[in-house]
Amino acid sequence: MNILDIIGKKRDGKSLTKEEIEFFVKEYTNGNIADYQASALVMAIYINGMTVEETTNLSLAMAHSGDILDLSMLGNVVDKHSTGGIGDKVTLILMPIVASLGVKVAKMSGRGLGFTGGTKDKLEAIPGYKTEISIEEFIQNVQKIGISLIGQTLNLAPADKKLYALRDAINCTANIPLISSSIMSKKIASGANKLVLDVTCGSGAFMKNIEDAEKLSKTMIEIGKLAGKETVCIITNMDQPLGKMVGNTLEVIEAVDALKGNMSEDVKNVVLELGAYILKLDGKGENIEENKKQIEEAIKTGKAYNKFLELIQNQGGDISYIEDTTKFEKAKYKINVISDKEGFIDKLNAEQVGKIASYLGAGRIRKEDDIDYSVGIELIKKVGDKVIKGENLAIIYANDEEKGEEARKSLLETYKISEEKVEKIADILEILE
Ligand code: URA
C-alpha cells in the first residue's frame, strides 16, 4: 500500500477501504507521510466527500492513533462537545450545573483557532487555573468533586491534532466527514460512554445551513452507534454570537453572572436544552421539561455556582476573582459603538464579530499566537432589538487604541439595521437522537 495510490483513488472520487484509511492515519501520525501529501488527500476528501462507512473508519482509526482513556471506574460519564462558535461559554456554565446534580464531568476542551473561541483559553483567563494536569490528577478530581475541565494535553487522538492544524492551514475545516471524524475520534478516545453534541448552525458556525447541520448530526449519531456511545445532537443557532460577551475574561464574567442566575435568554435556552439531555442520558430523569426545572433549581439555590467555585479552587484557580469579578485585569480602552440609524437589528454576522474579536487579540490568527485575555466585545443590542439613533449598540474592549477604533468601525458595519420589525431567531433549531 502506498500514499500515492490512496491520494489518486480519492482524487478520482472512489471510496477508500478500512485498510487504506488506517494506513494513512498511522503513517501520517508517525511522520512517515509528508504534510503536502496529507494536504492533497484532505483536499480530495473535502471535494469528493466520504461515505458514512469511510467516515466511521476514519474516526475509529484517528481515535486509536493514541491512548484511549478508560473512565469506567467513574461509572456513567456523559460528555458534551460543540462544533464551535462565537461567544460560546456554554461549557463553563453547563458543566458545573450538571456536576452539582450528580453527573460525573470529565471533560477536555480545545483552544480557539481563527475566529472561533475555545474553552481552554477561557479557563486560562482565570489566574492560577491549571488546564494541563496528569491523567491521574484528572481522574482524582472527578472522583473527589465530580468535575474536572482540562485542555487536550494528553496523547488522545494525536492524528486529529495534526489533521486539524493542517485543515485550518489549507482552508478545509468546514466539511462533514472531516468534522465528524475530528469530533468523534476525540470523544471515543476520551472515555465517555454517552454524548450530547451541540451542532451549531449559521454565520458563525462551520455548518451554514440546517440541511448541512442535519447531515453532520446524522453522521455523528451513526458513528456513535457503531462505537457503542449513545449520542444526541442538538442543533443550535449560531447566526449571531451567543450571549452578550465575546472575549475570554469577558465570557468568564458572563458565565459567573449566569451561574448566579443572571443569564441572557439565548444562553439560557441552550444551557437548559443541552443540560436536560445530559441529565436524561445520565439516568437522572426521562422528562426533558422536568430536567430543565432541576437545572433552574440548581442555579436558584446556588448549588451550581458553588460547584463552579469548587472546580476553580480544586484546579489551582484564584477564586477571589470569581467572587469579585471586578478584580480581573481590564482592557485599557472602552469604546462605544453608537448607532447612526434607527430601526431593528436585522443581522449580526457571528463570524464577522469573531474576526473582530480576534483582531483585537482575543483569538489566534496563527496557532502559536498569544492571547490577550482582557479584550473583546460586549453586545448590547442583538437581533430583533429596537435601536434609536445615538444609542449604544456595543462596547469594544481594546488595549490598542487604533485597533479599537478599527474594530468599532467594522462592528458598526456588521450591525445590519432594518426599518421593519424583525422577529427574534429561535435558539434551538432541532434535536436528533
Ligand atoms: N470541533 C472539532 O473538534 N473539530 C472540528 O473539526 C470542528 C469543530
Helix (H, G, I), strand (E, B) or coil at 174: coil
Quick one: 53 and 79 in the same domain? Answer: no
Mean pLDDT of 210-238: 96
Quick one: 36 and 177 in the same domain? Answer: no
**Domain-terminating residue out of 323, 338, 371:** 323
For the chain, how many structural domains are there in total?
A: 3
Quick one: 141 and 271 in the same domain? Answer: yes
pLDDT at 349: 96
* Atom number of ligand 1 nearest to Cα 183: 3
Alpha helices in 74-148 (DSSP H): 90-100, 119-124, 135-145
Q: Residue 167 catalytic?
A: yes
* Atom number of ligand 1 nearest to Cα 84: 8
Q: Is residue 423 part of a domain?
A: no
Quick one: 126 and 142 in the same domain? Answer: yes
* Atom number of ligand 1 nearest to Cα 206: 7
Neighbours of 247 (CB within 10 A): 31
Q: Which of 206, 217, 223 to mutate to test the pocket of ligand 1 (most atoms within 8 A of CB)?
A: 206
pLDDT at 269 exceeding the cut of 90: yes
Q: Is residue 240 part of a domain?
A: yes
Q: Residue 81 catalytic?
A: yes
pLDDT at 310: 97
pLDDT at 363 exceeding the cut of 90: no
Query: Worst-scoring range by mean pLDDT, 202-216, 326-340, 364-378?
Result: 364-378
Q: Is residue 388 part of a domain?
A: yes
**0.85 exceeded by the pTM?**
yes
Mean pLDDT of 103-107: 93
Residues 6+ positions from 254 with CB-CB distance below 8 Å: 89, 243, 244, 245, 267
Nearest in space to 172 (alpha carbons), one of 46, 50, 84: 46
Three-state SS letters, 235-292: EEECCCCCCCEECHHHHHHHHHHHHCCCCCHHHHHHHHHHHHHHHHHCCCCCCHHHHH
Three-state SS letters, 316-346: CCCCHHHHCHHHCCCCCEEEEEECCCCEEEE
Quick one: 232 and 343 in the same domain? Answer: no
Confidence bin at 367 (pLDDT 50/70/90): low
CB 142 within 8 A of CB 150: no
Give me the phi and psi of 67, to 5 degrees please: -75, 155
**Domain-terminating residue out of 296, 323, 350:** 323
Quick one: 119 and 188 in the same domain? Answer: yes
CA distance 329 to 359: 19
Q: Which of 59, 81, 83, 90 to mutate to test the pocket of ligand 1 (most atoms within 8 A of CB)?
A: 83
* Atom number of ligand 1 nearest to Cα 173: 6
Quick one: 309 and 188 in the same domain? Answer: yes
Query: How much distance in Å is there from the Cα of 175 to the middle of ligand 1?
Result: 10
Q: Is residue 172 part of a domain?
A: yes
Quick one: 164 and 206 in the same domain? Answer: yes
**Domain-terminating residue out of 292, 323, 354:** 323
Q: Residue 264 catalytic?
A: no
Quick one: 49 and 133 in the same domain? Answer: no
Quick one: 18 and 144 in the same domain? Answer: no
Q: Is residue 373 part of a domain?
A: yes
What's the CATH code of the domain at 52?
1.20.970.10
Residues 6+ positions from 407 with CB-CB distance below 8 Å: 335, 356, 359, 360, 377, 396, 398
Catalytic pick among 88, 160, 257, 282? 160
Per DSSP, the residues of 201-245 read ESTTSSB-SHHHHHHHHHHHHHHHHHTT-EEEEEEEE-SS-SSSE
Query: How much distance in Å is there from the Cα of 98 to the middle of ligand 1?
Result: 23
Helix axes 265-281, 248-259, angle to 10 degrees: 70
CA distance 190 to 194: 11
- Burial string for 185-198 (b: 16+ CB within 10 Å, else e) reads bbbbbbbbbbbbbb
pLDDT per residue as tens digits for the range 376-394: 999 999 999 999 999 999 9
What's the CATH code of the domain at 198?
3.40.1030.10
What is the identity of the amino acid at 136? E
Confidence bin at 425 (pLDDT 50/70/90): confident
Q: Is residue 431 part of a domain?
A: no
Quick one: 273 and 396 in the same domain? Answer: no
| CA-based R_g, the chain, Å | 21
Catalytic pick among 182, 203, 217, 374? 182
For the record, the C-alpha cell of 21 comes out as: 484509511
Catalytic pick among 80, 81, 229, 364? 81
Q: Residue 64 catalytic?
A: no
Q: Residue 160 catalytic?
A: yes
426 DSSP 8-state letter: P
Residue with the smallest CA separation from ligand 1 atom 2 is 183
- Is the CB of 182 inside a 6 Å radius of any atom of ligand 1? yes
CB 244 within 8 A of CB 256: no
Q: Is residue 51 part of a domain?
A: yes
Q: Which of 156, 183, 206 to mutate to test the pocket of ligand 1 (most atoms within 8 A of CB)?
A: 183
Helix (H, G, I), strand (E, B) or coil at 153: coil
Domain enclosing residue 238, as ranges: 72-323
pLDDT at 114 exceeding the cut of 70: no
- Is the CB of 84 inside a 6 Å radius of any atom of ligand 1? yes
CA distance 249 to 179: 28
pLDDT per residue as tens digits for the range 149-159: 998 777 889 99
pLDDT per residue as tens digits for the range 131-189: 999 888 999 999 999 999 998 777 889 999 899 889 988 989 889 999 999 999 999 99
- Is the CB of 83 inside a 6 Å radius of any atom of ligand 1? yes
Per the DSSP assignment, residues forming a β-bridge with 150 are: 108
Q: Is residue 429 part of a domain?
A: no
Quick one: 340 and 199 in the same domain? Answer: no
